Structure 1
Amino acid sequence: MRILLFDIDGTLIRSGGAGRLALLDTMQSVFSISEPGCDINFSGQTDGYLLQQVLSQNDVMPSLENMQRLVEGYLQRLPTWLRRCEGEVLPGVVTLLDRLQAEPQIEMGCMTGNLATSARLKLQHFGLWDGYFDEAHLFSGDECQGRDQMALAAAMQLAERFVGLDLDLWVIGDTPKDIQCARAMGAKVLACCTGEYSRQQLQPHQPDHLFGDLSDVDAIAAILSTSGFPA
């Protein structure tokens, strides 16, 4: 069984900054901070880490209560900012997902630093949830501070779910952290340069395959296909 785990932001979609704006909106509205700071590189991070950093940067104690207030406010405001921002589904994504979904020995899922709910909201907004992904195949950054921890937890869950099957794990992502966490879980990596990192920045991290984007569907599907892989 081949398991394909897609990152979301920068790999499947660009949200146009909706997540960052929803966080800033929440800091203003919920925590009454007139000009909240958010000097953080979001790329490849988990939301669990980012939320703590946003609170700390704005001198708000990252207590459990404040984290809950921030999460609730963020998830409430995210759909509004997704509608306001000019996001997009990235090139080749829909055609590639359709092609891979037709293969019986492939299971597709998402492994993302997003909270599970924010991941679903983003994918629903861009029409990539129904028919492609579901809660059972979503591995998210709700409880994890780092991508490696999240990847190891995902690998354990998959091993328990597919007991007795030979699993061939792949991660499809756009950041060095996607490559790093794939190695932590023993997965192969197909990286794409559709996020904040260029080919020159991703190549030194030695992904198994590296593409400019996912638009070369025939070539990418040939790599990710289960042809020749034992059932």
Structure 2
Amino acid sequence: MLTPTVVVFDLDGTLIDSRGDIVAAVNHALVATGRAPLPGQVIVRYVGDGARALCARAARLPETSESVEDVLRHFLDYYARHPLDFTRWMPGAQEMLERLSDLGDLALCVCTNKPRSTTDAVLAALGVGARFRAVVAGGDVAAKKPDPAPLLHLAARLGVQPHKMVMVGDGPQDIECARRAGARSIAVLGGFASQDELLDARPDVLLRTLGELWDVLRRWRDATVRLSTVR
């Protein structure tokens, strides 16, 4: 086992609880395009596969339909203007980022299906953009998670091998992306996916909160040190 040198975080449901702002932006887009708003618990079930898929599902349209463009435009415009009305840190997330940032040999990154415009708006509003060595958002590469392309793109940008990366996320998309890229995966409960969905995705580790991440990384790092000293 090699020491992980890069920790890659999903954003929505992993670092931040963005349900309220996503629901508000989707319902704004639905009303702006002459549709009825939806209950929040319905909308959050559509999150995870990018903004276009989210808007298509909420509007009851095929993702390939041209009519999705108008819904998506209203969604993105509203979200960019309201990135943090209701968004909060997930339990333990802010403290963990601060703690990991103190490790000089560990790069922190973000890999999200959230569109680039809203990703940048949220990170800027939170004031944490500088903590991340690199960010890959929806639309930056041709494919999105669970395809491995976003994570492989990050690896290439950083000049590291994927097996030295750890993907931390709250959805099966994150776990599958890591597996297909050849990276380790850590799933975190409390986001958009259920415990059963995460267990079915077979992550390397399942955490209750991000507060447990430090101990996992420490064990992996210590195990590597011990192995390297064996003659």
* TM-score interval for Structure 1 and Structure 2 normalised by the shorter chain: 0.7 to 0.9
Counterpart contact for 1:100–1:225, Cα < 8 Å: no
What is the aligned partner in structure 2 of residue 147 from structure 1? 145
Mapping 1:1-231, distance limit 5 Å: 2-29=5-32, 31=33, 33-36=34-37, 41-55=45-59, 57=60, 62-63=65-66, 67=69, 69-85=70-86, 87-129=87-129, 131-133=130-132, 137-142=134-139, 146-149=144-147, 151-155=148-152, 157-163=153-159, 165-167=160-162, 168-216=164-212, 218-223=214-219, 225=221, 228=224
**Which structure would you say has the larger RCO, counting Cα contacts within 8 Å and 6 or more residues apart?**
1
Alignment TM-score, normalising by the size of structure 2: 0.77
Cα deviation 1:140-186 (Å, max 9, x = unaligned): 2226565133x32430x2343344x5441211001122111111211
The root-mean-square deviation of aligned C-alpha atoms, in Å, is: 3.2
Alignment TM-score, normalising by the size of structure 1: 0.77
Identity across the alignment (%): 21
Counterpart contact for 1:199–1:212, Cα < 8 Å: no
Segments of 5+ residues of structure 2 without an aligned counterpart are none
Counterpart contact for 2:83–2:118, Cα < 8 Å: no
**How far apart in 1 are the matches of 2:156 and 2:63?**
39
18-27 vs 5-14, which moves further: 18-27
Distance 1:54 1:146, change over 3 A: farther
**How far apart in 2 are the matches of 1:218 and 1:175?**
20
Give SS of 1:113's match.
Answer: strand
**How far apart in 1 are the matches of 2:105 and 2:77?**
37
**How far apart in 2 are the matches of 1:22 and 1:198?**
23
Give SS of 1:45's match.
Answer: coil
Distance 1:66 1:202, change over 3 A: closer
**Number of paired residues?**
218
Distance 1:199 1:226, change over 3 A: same
Cα displacement (A) at 1:193: 0.5
Segments of 5+ residues of structure 1 without an aligned counterpart are none
**How far apart in 2 are the matches of 1:53 and 1:133?**
31
Distance 1:223 1:197, change over 3 A: farther
Amino acid at match of 2:198: L
Counterpart contact for 1:171–1:179, Cα < 8 Å: yes
**How far apart in 1 are the matches of 2:143 and 2:204?**
26
Counterpart contact for 2:146–2:177, Cα < 8 Å: yes
Give SS of 1:140's match.
Answer: strand
Cα displacement (A) at 1:66: 5.4
**How far apart in 1 are the matches of 2:75 and 2:61?**
16
